[in-house]
Structure 1
Amino acid sequence: MSEIRYSKDHEYVRVDGDVATIGISDYAQSQLGDVVYVELPEIGKAVAQGKEAAVVESVKAASEVYAPVSGEVVEVNGALEGAPASVNEDPEGQGWFLKVRMSNPAELEGLMSADAYADFLKTVS
């Protein structure tokens, strides 16, 4: 099982070697409601930590998905185009957004472990 880390913006990153799989947490998808559209970046695009990497639209709102780590997009989850509800059904599994080859793995140190994220959620209303 690869390590999973979380940002304060409710994105997660699951690391496998130098590739990070990025998506939104279960909490984030529950706040959004039914996801109806996902806009994914182009493969090869450079993303920077804390900057917009994708967009998710729900029946409630459109929200940016911020990159928890910097790097180059090496894969996107094209299945979301036809089945955006996967984000609601399995946000930390089949509902992932993109994979990035990390340019600075040290950025992971600024993200929360699953336990720290669970504690963080207790402070969010």
Structure 2
Amino acid sequence: MPKNTPLKNEQMSDSAYYILLALLLPKHGYAIMKYIEELTEGEITMGPATLYTLIKKLQKSGYILLHEDDDERRKTYQLTQAGTAMVEAEIERRLRMSRHGRLAQLNAKEELE
């Protein structure tokens, strides 16, 4: 993904995907990182630099917005309608990819037999 560009016409990275999943409910930055780590059972950990770089890109793309919060020190983010639609489409795309992978494995296995 080129630097400093919004995500609208690019394939979504795994990190961006997990951020959108985390924001199915509004969260602040640290909670996003912890949610991703817990959801993936430690398989994926995200540092602050990656998180906040992607949050800016996701905001520019219109997928998330900064939620007004009483605590000025803690910024809470939430999905927009476009973000919700994007994460739903991405879930479906990744499910299709997984089915394609299984089909390719089965086809290869049959040809080897």
User: TM-score by structure 2 length?
Assistant: 0.29
Task: Name the structure with the higher helix share.
Answer: 2
Structure number with greater Rg is 2
User: TM-score by structure 1 length?
Assistant: 0.27
